Chain A
Amino acid sequence: MPNSTGTSTDSPFDEICKSLRHEFPALSAARRESRQTERKIRDSVAHIRISPDIGLVVFGSLARLEWTSGSDVDWTLLVDGPSDPEHFALAREVERSLKETGFSPVGATGTFGSMASSFDLIHYIGGIEDSNQNMTRRILLLLESVSLSDTVVHERVLRGILKRYIQTDPAVSTATAPQFRVPLFLLNDIVRLWRTIAVDYATKKWQMPSTKWALRNIKLRMSRKLLFVKGLLMCFSCQLRPPAIEEQNEEIVLDQIVSHCLNYTQKSALDVLCEMLIQVNDDRLAIKLLQAYDDFLSCLNDKKKRKHLQDLDFSRAASDELFQEVRQISYNFRDGMNELFFDHELLRPLTRNFGLF
């Protein structure tokens, strides 16, 4: 992974693999494929001139560095400036270029559609204007998004959203001595998204009982859970790994928290987890969690298995060997997460204080 000075450094995932002397082939392959796919997409849209007020942003498995053979490209034009009717034509041009390069169109959920405006994402947090879709867009932008064009718009919107959460959150600082603490406003919205995803899973299963339910189920238990974990660790990190406070001006400390959280938004969920696993220094637990995720991605990348899960009827799930196998993988992952958050002394107090009540 290139760092800011252009030299190469190991990602937390690379670092932990070396430290454990253990390989996770499906994870490594997915990360490699993600970077290659990202390059292909960049090339396919490179001819499109995008104005400084617009960012081309991708979400989902590509942003999580979990690209597998069945992945599709979730993307949006993020507009952070004056609205222009021509934005629609620009979105169609991006879509056409992606199709010509052989990528599947926008994910079926259409969470992002082809355009999103920064205004709603920044100004409508909570309250009646904050729809399920707006909240999902906002948190996914924070937790799993990557800019494929110039990064300035993407980063500006991320900072704007983070500032909204942090500047009004009294848990971040006190009047007498500014401190980094868990930002509760942000944490609550991340918890809200996790619970919303779980509820929406049940809704989709009710509305479309025989379509893809098993795939959605396993993704909920694995990749969606990991996304939630990233959000939790981002919030906990404000207290666990705060940058040094040299400045006593509270407003500037708030800006530093925005930058601190922004740094987390730009790491993959797996890398954020690996950083924490390095910090808790528990090799057995690290292998347990990463092996479970490796098994999950290996299954998703197997076209036959993926198709089997995609077509599996709910009534046959209890006796289906593959489904029971992936379910066991998800149990291993869940148990590992429970250990990490409830048993390790580093995270236990934070989980106890902020995890539920």
Chain B
Amino acid sequence: MRIGFSTGALALSDFQVGLAMNQAAGLNAVELSALRETEVAGLLAAIDGMPLQRLDFVSFHAPSSLQRISDKELIQQLQPIFDRGWPVIVHPDIIRDFDIWASLGSRILLENMDQRKPIGRNARELRQLFVRLPEAGLCFDIAHARQVDPTMSIAVEILTEFSDRLAELHISEVDSGSRHVAISQLAMKSYQRISSLIPEHVPVIIESMICEADIPGEVEVVRASLRRLVPSAVGT
């Protein structure tokens, strides 16, 4: 299993600290997070010096809102990420110009949203987006799906309909204030029920906002939550 944390979950905007914690825990995947647009430049400038060589999977989380720059300018900034072949996770509500994002094909992964966002929360809303981004992949946020529908039937719909697009999994628990927190027993059971719809080769990025001491325990909870991953011939 390729598994690791989002740097933002471990250390908010301090990606270096987040990355160090992820490395220290011996995890083989990471998501570099620049959730605020002001964080993008600094993160990009530091990439060459990051100890990423031993990792089996690296992705990049684009800012969750754009106030100062256009999506075209953001895409231009992210060129070094695309050049490295790292998938870029995008919240659908930042997209203004669908054509320019569509031109990036499968290099972008749309993330399903939590209940606060008016789009991209269920299969119906994602379908409308994928019509305009026909080659985009899916970053399935299992916690968002559970917040939108605790029965997990929406999660089943998304995973069934978009199985061929699934390229990354976000996992944590989302509380009533839409904060990403450590996974509870109830959430773990919900995730176990549907984990057979998630192929084993899909990289798992943990978004639970926890302190460093809790990393090993949370990783174990994630592994237990996904114990019915479908074995696949692709990847590890």
Contact = CB atoms under 8 A, between A and B. Distances in A.
Interface string A152-165: 11011001101100
A138 to B, nearest CB: 15
Given A52-B115, A259-B156, A5 B151 contact: no
B interface, over-half SS: helix
Contacts of A156: 115, 148-150
A152 B144 CA distance: 12
B151 A159 contact: yes
A interface, over-half SS: helix
Contacts of B115: 52, 152-153, 156
Contacts, number: 61
Nearest to B124: A4
Interface in B115-140: 115-116, 118, 121-122, 124, 127-128, 131
Contacts of A255: 151-153, 155-156, 194
A335 interface: no
Contacts of B178: 52
A240 to B, nearest CB: 21
B193 interface: yes
Interface in A37-62: 52-53
A39 to B, nearest CB: 18
B153 A5 contact: no
Contacts of A81: 176
Contacts of B196: 247, 249, 252
Contact of A252 (B121, B148, B154, B194): B194
A259 B156 CA distance: 9
A4 B116 contact: no
B157 interface: yes
Interface of B: 115-116, 118, 121-122, 124, 127-128, 131, 148-157, 160, 176, 178, 193-194, 196-197
In the complex, the 10 A-B pairs of residues with the closest C-beta atoms, listed nearest first: A255-B153, A163-B151, A255-B156, A258-B153, A52-B115, A159-B151, A251-B193, A4-B124, A259-B153, A152-B115
26 contacts: A4-B127, A4-B128, A5-B127, A5-B128, A52-B116, A52-B178, A81-B176, A82-B176, A152-B115, A152-B121, A153-B115, A156-B115, A156-B150, A159-B149, A159-B151, A160-B150, A162-B151, A163-B151, A163-B153, A246-B160, A252-B196, A252-B197, A255-B152, A255-B194, A259-B156, A259-B157
